[in-house]
Structures are given as structure tokens and as C-alpha cells.
Structure 1
Amino acid sequence: MHPKFGGGAATVRAPKVSEQIADSLRSRIVRGDIPAGEMLPPEKQMVEDLGVSRPTLREAFRILESEGLITVLTGARGGPRVRLPDLGVAARHIGLYLQTQGTTLADLLEARAEFGAVCVRFLAERCTEEGLAALGDCVRAQREIWEAGVESGADFARWVALTGEFHNLVALHCGNKTLETQAKALSEVLGASRAVSLRRKGDPGAFTDTSYIPGTIDDYEELVRLVAARDADGAEKHWRAHLRSASEIVFRNREPDSVIRLYE
């Protein structure tokens, strides 16, 4: 017998029954056979239909819940409810992996600049009128906040939220789902890392220094103009320069070679 397949060698582990059930349900969920928001059959019925024990079924539910594919509701009318896959779950796993690899803030921001620039090239080529209108509305809302006066942390938080929305709109309307997913995942990792930084040391310049806000809004308005003009080369060059400048603002409060932290 070949040493890889016998004679005391490690054997391939057969999937547990709970894993097989989770695999089957997962496939049905991602194919859309079980729509988001729909409740799975009652536990008693599933136990009888599948011929398994309650603990085995519940273990399958825990697997799917950890993947963000179901939410287990409590109460008389509770049970597992199907939900769409959550990009935030994937982003947390990506962030955890990057942290264990010692990934630096500079590394992450460099990747965002390159992903973002490609997204913007596609945006200029493919953006719909609806997408262009959404981008314009977002920038106008930012301008209104600035002109009304950013005088508190709440004002600043509203403006920051709109910048996140603008970046998500760029990804959403670039016309490429893979790039959209990658860009949004990187954005979530950056946001989570920044939240940890705020908790750890306060990030003192986060609100007190707002001098960069007008220039940022100007850059957003220029991007919308370039996209409306279908100037893909100009939009890509402009956005890459903007994202690199934005990185320098981040570096005012954090060291470029600091390792990103999503978990302390």
C-alpha cells in the first residue's frame, strides 16, 4: 500500500453530518433557492426530514450563523432566518489575516489607492446617469456640512460618514462586481483599523484638524466632473493622486509602518 494512503499515514477526515447539512443549506442559500428573509422549516420538522439529532442540526446552524448566512431568532416564533452573505464578515477575516501577516498601514493604503484608481477608470467608462446623480448628491451634502460649519465631533462624524458613502458609490457604480467587492472590503478593513486606533490612543487630530476638508471636497467634485466627461485617463490619474494625498493625512496621526490592528 502506498505510504500516503495506508500504513499508519494520516487519513482524509470524512465530513461530519452537521457539515454536510450546512453544505447543502449553504448551496441552496447562495443559489437563491431559499430567499433572504425566509425562515427555515421548524427544527422538529428538519430533524425528522433529515434523520439527525437536534444537537447535530444545531451545530449546522452554528456553522451557517458564523458565516453570516442565517440569523437564529429566539422566542415562540423564532428559528433560523436566511440572510444575504455579509461582506463585513469576509472583511473581518481579511483584516485578521492581514494583521497576522504584519501588514502595515502604508501597505493597506497603497493597495486602496491602486484598487480605487482602477475602479474610477471603470466608473468613468461605465457609470450610469443614476450613479452620476448619486455621486453628485453625496458631494453636495458634504459641501453643505462644510459651509454650515464643522463645529463639533458630530458634524465631523457626519462628514466622515459621507466620505465613506462616496467611496462606496464609486465602487458600486464602477460596473465590476469583483472590484466593487475588493474595494469595499479594503474600506471596511481600514475603517475597523481606524476604530481600534481611536480606542487605543484617541487619534488627536481626527477632529481638531479639519483644514483638509475643503480640498477633499474639491477633489470629489473634480472626480464627478471627469466621470461626467467620460475622461477615464484623467479620472484615474486624479483619483490615484487624491488617494495618495489622503494617505498622507492619515499618516499625520499614525506611523506608516505601524501594523494594522482590527483586534487587540
Structure 2
Amino acid sequence: MRRVKLSDQIAEDLRRWIVRENLGPKDRLPNERALQDHYGCSRGTMREALKALEVEGLLIMHSGPNGGPEVQQTSAEIASRQLRQFLHFQKLDFKHVYELRRSMEVALALNVVDRLTAEHLTALEDNIRLCENANNEQERELARQAEVEFHDILAEASDNPILVFICQFLNGLIRDLVDYRAGSLQEHEAFGARNVAYHKEILAAFKARDRDAVAKAMDEHMCCAETSMQQLDAAFYSDLLSRR
């Protein structure tokens, strides 16, 4: 069994301390010297522990006589990026993403049916227009990224932080995979046109507050997107084989 470094043990205890004391942004922990005395560790070990929490985005270090570690809200983007980096060292493809994304996007759509404001609906309309205008050979990658933003707008309206994080995390994976494999898809314009058509249908269902229509349109949209993305995977791996 691998021995856990002292600095890692201290970092974990500080995480628990922050949660236990319900500390929030701008709250301060004791200064570095006081923490060093509390844990009975060397200056180097204490700095290593604090640096780990700073890299995570949980603390920010202030210098000077009144300096020290200050709690800050962990960024969802930082957490998502770290998890995506881990997954990209696995054999990851669109099939894995859509096994989860299909159900999550339907759940998200149903969650926000009664929460979408006029501003959200306008943002969705603007997004659809952007996708229509960008769906050509020169701007197809912009169109693919904008299509994912449609789903980010829905996430912004949700009151469920777990659902929001999962959906935005999956959207980030989709963006990453499209970036890495965009050159392999030969039918971008047809794919984009289908996405726009589904987004228009989903938007109409939202405006009508029709939960059944929202769920049906989103499920069909995810099924269609999954098929197109799996074609992208197949083309990508075919390209790899042809280069060997």
C-alpha cells in the first residue's frame, strides 16, 4: 500500500476543515506559521499542502504581514477540466459520452421547462441563428461548438447543481472530442442542419411549456447526435489506420 505524503494528509485535513467550519469565499485560514505549528510540520511540507489547494482553486495565497491562505469558491470549470484530462488518458469515444448524455439532457430539459425566462429563450433563439449562419465549410467547427452552447444555456436555468455540473461536464467532453476529431466528419452541413431543426423543435416545445414534447424532441435529438458522432468516431479511427 502506497504511503500518503504528509503534505497530502494536511491538504485533505484542510479541505475537511473548510467544509466543517462552513467557510466560504474571502474567509481566511490561520497564517502559514500558525498552520505549521498546528500540524507540527516543516515549512516546506506546509507550503506544499497549501500549494496543492491553491492549484485546485480552493485557496488563494496572500503575501505580506496580513497575508495567508484565503478560501475561494472552487471553479466548476477547473474541476471539469481536471476530470476531462483524466478521461482523455482512457480509451474514450462518443459512445461512452452518449450512454450518459441521452438521459441527462432529457432530465435537464424537463428540469428547466418552467424555469426558462424570456432572457433564456432569447439566448436560445440567438444561438440557433448563430448555428444557421455558421453551418458552412469555413465555419463548421464554430457551428459545432455553438450547438453545444445551446445545451449550456439550458444548464444555466437549472436549479439542480449536480445536474448542471454533469451536463456541462459532458458538454465539455463533446467539445474536446469534436476539436480532436473534427477533420474526420464529411457531412458537417447535414449534421448541422439536423441539429438546428431539433433545436428549433425543442425551443417551440419550451415556449409551449409542453413537457412531453420537450422530452420527446430532446431524446430524438440525442439519438440523432449520437449516430452522427459515432460516424465521426468511425471516420477518425479509419483515418488513423490509413496512416499506419
Structure-2-length-normalised TM-score: 0.73
Aligned to 1:190: 174
Distance in 2 between the 1:179 and 1:230 partners? Answer: 20
Cα deviation, residue 84, structure 1: 2.2
Structure 1: segments with no counterpart, 5+ residues: 1-9, 259-264
Distance in 1 between the 2:133 and 2:88 partners? Answer: 39
Aligned to 1:36: 25
Residue 251 of structure 1 aligns with an amino acid whose one-letter code is Q
Aligned to 1:87: 76
Q: Deviations over 1:125-159 (max 9, x none)?
A: xx32xx34343222322343356565675x55554
Which residue of 31, 45, 50 maps to 1:61?
Answer: 50
Instruction: Name the SS of the counterpart of 1:223 in structure 2.
Output: helix
Which residue of 187, 195, 201 maps to 1:216?
Answer: 195
Distance 1:257 1:212, change over 3 A: closer
Distance 1:227 1:114, change over 3 A: same
Q: Deviations over 1:83-127 (max 9, x none)?
A: 322334444554466556644422322321121112222222xx3
Distance 1:157 1:227, change over 3 A: same
Q: Deviations over 1:55-74 (max 9, x none)?
A: 11112123323533235578
1:173 partnered with 2:173: no
Distance in 2 between the 1:164 and 1:81 partners? Answer: 35
Structure-1-length-normalised TM-score: 0.68
* Conserved? CA contact 1:226–1:234, under 8 Å: yes
Q: Deviations over 1:17-56 (max 9, x none)?
A: 4344323421344467443356655534543565432111
Which residue of 210, 217, 230 maps to 1:238?
Answer: 217
Identity %, equivalent residues: 23
Instruction: Name the SS of the counterpart of 1:251 in structure 2.
Output: helix
Distance 1:67 1:158, change over 3 A: same
Residue 120 of structure 2 aligns with an amino acid whose one-letter code is L
Aligned to 1:52: 41
Instruction: Note the 1:1-264 alignment, pairs <5 A.
Output: 17-30=6-19, 33-36=22-25, 42-48=31-37, 51-71=40-60, 80-92=69-81, 94-95=83-84, 98=87, 102-124=91-113, 127-128=114-115, 131-145=116-130, 153=138, 155-156=139-140, 158-197=142-181, 202-203=183-184, 205=186, 209-255=188-234
Instruction: Name the SS of the counterpart of 2:36 in structure 1.
Output: helix
* Conserved? CA contact 2:206–2:214, under 8 Å: yes
Instruction: Name the SS of the counterpart of 2:233 in structure 1.
Output: coil
* Conserved? CA contact 1:142–1:217, under 8 Å: no
Distance 1:145 1:173, change over 3 A: closer
Instruction: Name the SS of the counterpart of 2:73 in structure 1.
Output: coil
Distance 1:31 1:238, change over 3 A: farther
Q: Larger relative CO (CA 8 A, sep 6+): 1 or 2?
A: 1
Distance 1:133 1:160, change over 3 A: farther
* Conserved? CA contact 2:58–2:71, under 8 Å: yes
CA RMSD between the two structures: 3.8
Distance in 2 between the 1:93 and 1:149 partners? Answer: 30
